[in-house]
Structure 1
Amino acid sequence: MESILKSTLKCHIFKNFFDNFSCVRCIFRALKINQYEVYQNKQQFQELLENVSKKLEIQSLSTHYNHDWIIRTGGNNHYCRICMGILQNIDHQENVDKIAAQIKEQDFEYQSFKFFIKVPLCTQIRLANFLYHTEDLFEKQSLQFPAEEQEEFAKQILQWRENYIDIKTVYKWILPDLLSEKLGVPATSSVDCPFVVNFQIRADDDDRLQFSYFSDHLSQLNKQYEEKKKKKLKGNFDEEIILPRVEPTALNLERISALPRSQFFKVIRNGQLPDPVTSPAQIDVSLSHASIYIMGNYCKYSRYMSQTPWFIDGVKLYDTSIQEEIANDILPNFKCDDYKFSTGGREDIDVRMLGNGRPFVIEIQNPRRVHSVSDEDLKNYEAHLNNVKTECKVNSLKFTDVKCFEVLKQSEQEKIKSYACVVQTKDPITQEQIDKLNNMNEIELKQKTPIRVLHRRTQMIRTKYIHKLKAYLLSERHFVLYVLSSAGTYIKEFVHGDLERTTPNVGSILGTEADIFQLDVIQLYPKLCEESLKDFDETCKVPSQIVEWQ
């Protein structure tokens, strides 16, 4: 702040910017003034403007106090030619009240908030042109300044180009405290804060206008990329690479904004001031809350209910699904925008999921109700769902975090699973054949990707293990088979062989064609151990309680 008043050079830079309709905050940004108090609507700021105006004899500075210290009031449409009005009324009471009202209207629950701000590309280009214009102006008038000032300018102009303070930083210095007072909760910069106030500042027409500076640069970058790719693929370099015209799409504007400032300024070399701003940039405010996660287990008792909604050619095949039954009961309590349902593996539509159930996670996206839903409420939701649903039940509902997906992945890839199925054979079978199955342990399977899932799974051979079998005759051509297997084993294919794509299989072991009549998932175990083996043996003692058979 002191340097502005003591340096003749900086005073004239200030005057050049101001006389060409740059707001004072943008001048401070260009001069790297990083004391955030200076940008705020405080006495320190007022004193600074008064001192600068006296030193430079800028009479119009005093008119700022009639309305807002940053806005010129000498006429209409006097918007800053750099920030396009973004910083001019940022702390105006009417503006703050409007934003606070928008936040309150959306009825989110939050204990703190943080900012995310996106500014239009054109504001960066406009500031760059102002800096170049100032540099050119100084070179023309350099003899008016002492030698030491000329030397100072030469050193600092390059630093200003790359180290100016961006609009987003100034926004965060000014607005959060004002909104915090209105909303009654603190503002924070913590990455862990789940509630975000998003400011999307748009000047679409000006973005497209200013894009012309970079179209050739982006075309060159695209051409270099294609040549590199062609070289890597050993393409024919005799053919000329013809690329489509570069358009000012959102993606290309993002690419320009992401350029390092040194590269950004190399592309722009225009000493002309940007056009006056006739309409200010538009500010869209949106709110977002980080997802919350609920984990639990589901049991499925129907052979006519899919895990997720099932559509073919846009037609829904079944009225409901496990996902819909659970989500429709829980989600209204959170007033969310959307959700995702994930599970640790899946069972076929005609397979029941018994025991403690299969783990699942509901990711609740952009919830408005967070703090008012407690662990006790989850227990109540669980009890209600289990009271009204017959085809599915849930247990162990709890709040969790994003690490829950590791648990699901582990369940799908590592857990040991027990199954019960009814097998039907082409030829009559004997107790001797059943005993043969019962005496087999740790069978190594080679399973090619089943024909029924080839359309969505990679064709490969997977090695799986059948750790234990237990069979009971039901009739001369039917028997109950209990299977304890490694995760990811295709049990149906283990029974019928899938045209010998799974070997060995029950059919090949018994010496007759075998097919599966019905299948249940009985239990999921964390690992193969004495406890899981004992539980499997206990389950096998009561086949009539597990398998529906008449």
Structure 2
Amino acid sequence: MLSLKEKDRPIVRKLLCAGCCARCVLRFCCVGTSSAYRRSYQDLRKELLAFISEENSPQSHDASGEEKTVAPPNKRVRIDEDPVTPAQTDSDICPVCLGVLQDFCDPTFAKQVSDAVKKQQYEFDSLVLTVSLPAQMSVREHSCWLHVKKEVREKSMCLGKEDVIQVKDAFKWAVQGKIGQELGAAVVANSPCEVSVGFIHPETEEDCHFLANTCPGCFKPTKNKASIFTRMAVVKALEKISEEKFSRHYPCPPKKANTRCTALDTTCLHTSIFIAGRYNKFSRELPQTPWVIDGERRMHGSVEELIAAPLLSSFRADGFNFSSSGREDVDVRTLGNGRPFAVELLNPHRAKFNRTEIKQLQEKINQSSDKIRVRDLQIVTREATSHMKEGEEKKTKTYSALIWTQKAIDITDLEFLANIKDLRIAQKTPLRVLHRRPLAVRQTHPLHEHHLPEQTPLHHKAVHTGRHLH
């Protein structure tokens, strides 16, 4: 039974007479029990009609079956004196939800959504259901609220706009359990896997046009939006417009709609997965990222492509973003413990891997090429990648270089280098990056009291901090 009280009877009658659907009636009666919205539409409507047709006997019952003592005659709801009957038939479109809570809350639509998700071949244990609605639904909701508000005010009651159950919530309560059951997954409030259901309506601009005239500051054209009547803009305008002005420009209750909402294609999106590790580069002909100059690619392959290709395949991701703690020139090898890197995998269709599978994935990358090798491969959080970028400027790297000179170097030359106290190096923009950087001379920070370690005459080390060579 529905948890309706005697005080709800005039509201139910008023809403049904306005053509509202059964679930919208429950919303404006502030019925917050999810099981009520999961019931079939026919059963709900039948029970609501029976509820308003009950006689005003001294011992009246509410919709929950409890006995209620009716107020004295002078305060009774005058239902039997109101000749108006509910206006909606089974084929009519609800003027508030525009059919969303009529036509899309049954098992057939839930299965349609589930089948669309299955076709996209995602692997998940839980999901969050998101819903997008036409912007003018907020206008119609506001109109209906003002219509009901007048009724409850006359009965010395109060109905806040925030007390009304939202269409999105009512829709979710009605279908998410069926969708979860079809997919074998829990539908929760927060999940990395998002299933989106959207609705559109052809009369959006017609319903919202008056708001653009009364609150022009709320509607500004944007490059990414096809229409100025976005949901946020409409909500902002409704907050500014007075009830009196709204009622002058828009009917209360809302007028009947000519067409129903249409459901958009169901879409799925999984939050990014981050894979981190360290890489060694053994080739002097391999850039870190694809090397493209004036639209022409130079050299074949790159470090990021060799690492990302097996990851994309295994996680079945739509794309990736590669980042690392600094970078090396194309002809410079990366030895030692390797350079830290992270790969953001966009919209992965598979997200869960155990340690053994990650180790196998690391071996797959290493076996795919002799130009690179990765180690310490692991799944990390987004926050962990920020620590890697911090280390790019703070940690010290050591570089080795082989030097040829026109004359032989003796011990006196090495003593001269060791005695340098403040060393500055001025570097012109390298030729290889002139196509994307201005020609300039950049100086490093001075190096104080630094003594080069003893080396053989042809082999010296330079210390590199961040991007400054000392």
Establish whether TM, by shorter chain, passes 0.5.
Answer: yes
Task: Assess if the C-alpha contact under 8 Å between 1:292 and 1:367 holds in 2.
Answer: yes
Relative distance call for 1:220 and 1:94 in structure 2 (3 A) is closer
Task: Assess if the C-alpha contact under 8 Å between 2:324 and 2:388 holds in 1.
Answer: yes
Match among 241, 246, 267 for residue 268 of structure 1:
246
Task: Assess if the C-alpha contact under 8 Å between 2:114 and 2:183 holds in 1.
Answer: yes
Instruction: Give me the whole-angstrom Cα distance separating, in 1, the residues matched to 2:134 and 2:455.
Output: 72
Relative distance call for 1:150 and 1:133 in structure 2 (3 A) is closer
The 5 Å alignment of 1:123-522 reads: 123-133=137-147, 151-152=154-155, 156=158, 159-189=159-189, 191=190, 193-203=191-201, 205-217=202-214, 219-220=216-217, 249-250=226-227, 253-259=230-236, 262-263=239-240, 268-269=246-247, 270-272=250-252, 273-371=254-352, 373-424=353-404, 429-438=409-418, 443=422, 445=424, 463=445, 465=447, 469-470=452-453, 472=455, 479-489=458-468, 491=469, 494=470
Partner of 2:26: 28
Task: Assess if the C-alpha contact under 8 Å between 2:276 and 2:341 holds in 1.
Answer: yes
Shift of the alpha carbon at 1:420?
0.6
Task: Assess if the C-alpha contact under 8 Å between 1:79 and 1:280 holds in 2.
Answer: no
Q: Which has the higher helix share?
A: 1
Instruction: Give me the whole-angstrom Cα distance separating, in 2, the residues matched to 1:252 and 1:47.
Output: 37
Match among 117, 122, 144 for residue 131 of structure 2:
117
Relative distance call for 1:244 and 1:96 in structure 2 (3 A) is closer
Task: Assess if the C-alpha contact under 8 Å between 2:199 and 2:261 holds in 1.
Answer: no
Shift of the alpha carbon at 1:287?
0.9
Higher deviation after alignment, 359-368 or 85-94:
85-94
Matched-pair identity in %: 22
Shift of the alpha carbon at 1:94?
1.2
The 5 Å alignment of 1:73-112 reads: 73=90, 75=91, 78-112=92-126
Shift of the alpha carbon at 1:127?
2.0
- SS across alignment from 1:469: coil
- SS across alignment from 2:397: strand
- SS across alignment from 1:395: strand
Relative distance call for 1:384 and 1:247 in structure 2 (3 A) is closer
Task: Assess if the C-alpha contact under 8 Å between 2:286 and 2:299 holds in 1.
Answer: yes
Write the letter of the residue equivalent to 1:210. Answer: D
Write the letter of the residue equivalent to 2:16. Answer: F
Relative distance call for 1:172 and 1:460 in structure 2 (3 A) is farther
Partner of 1:52: 51
Relative distance call for 1:248 and 1:352 in structure 2 (3 A) is closer
- SS across alignment from 2:277: strand
Shift of the alpha carbon at 1:350?
1.9
Write the letter of the residue equivalent to 1:268. Answer: F
Instruction: Give me the whole-angstrom Cα distance separating, in 2, the residues matched to 1:118 and 1:309.
Output: 39
Q: Structure 2: which 5+ residue stretches go unaligned? A: 55-78
RMSD (Å) for aligned C-alpha atoms: 3.7
Instruction: Give me the whole-angstrom Cα distance separating, in 1, the residues matched to 2:175 and 2:240.
Output: 31
Q: Structure 1: which 5+ residue stretches go unaligned? A: 64-70, 139-148, 223-242, 495-550
Partner of 1:517: none
Higher deviation after alignment, 379-388 or 391-400:
379-388
In the comparison of the two structures, how many residue pairs are matched? Answer: 435
Relative distance call for 1:421 and 1:246 in structure 2 (3 A) is closer
Instruction: Give me the whole-angstrom Cα distance separating, in 1, the residues matched to 2:162 and 2:441.
Output: 53
- SS across alignment from 2:12: helix
Shift of the alpha carbon at 1:200?
2.0
